[in-house]
Structure 1
């Protein structure tokens, strides 16, 4: 599962949310930059750049939500494991 692998690699939901907000800002920067530095392309080319980068934000938000859910479930399982007595001879 991709979410489990991302979590094992050290990525957390906060990282994905940060990337999503950064990509929103990068969308505006790429649109303005394309208008300014590629005047021959015009607004159409700037729009394409903005849309291309803008498509990243929902993906990062979705991964952030998936990681948040995984982190919550992982915390619940960890809490359950700590409740189980380690010495079964007391039973």
Structure 2
């Protein structure tokens, strides 16, 4: 799987950037959901947690690709 991702042009740095972006997006989605939706803080928390869970996945994938690239 890593070989296919690498051949498709995905690099470890791309995954690291996606992980960092997902942390920012998590905060942004939490803040926007809290202010713009009338569903309450619980829903805003769920959005923030949902998107925040992407960061470890991207960073782990970046670590795997970094190992493959060496």
TM-score range, shorter chain: over 0.9
In the alignment, the residues of structure 1 paired with residue 56 and residue 18 of structure 2 have an alpha-carbon distance, to the nearest angstrom, of 10
Q: Determine the structure 2 residue equivalent to 1:44.
A: 42
Aligned-residue offset at 1:4: 1.0
Q: What are the within-5 Å matches in structure 2 for residues 69-88 of structure 1?
A: 69-72=67-70
Q: CA RMSD in A?
A: 0.5
SS of the counterpart of 1:11? coil
Q: Which of the two has higher C-alpha Rg? A: 1
> Which ranges of structure 2 fall in alignment gaps of 5 or more residues?
none
Q: Determine the structure 1 residue equivalent to 2:55.
A: 57
Q: Deviations over 1:14-52 (max 9, x none)?
A: 0000000000000000000000110x2111000000010
> Which ranges of structure 1 fall in alignment gaps of 5 or more residues?
73-91
Count of residue pairs the alignment pairs up: 70
TM-score (norm 1): 0.75
Larger relative contact order (C-alpha < 8 A, sep ≥ 6)?
A: 2
Q: Determine the structure 2 residue equivalent to 1:66.
A: 64
Aligned-residue offset at 1:56: 0.3
Q: Determine the structure 2 residue equivalent to 1:29.
A: 28
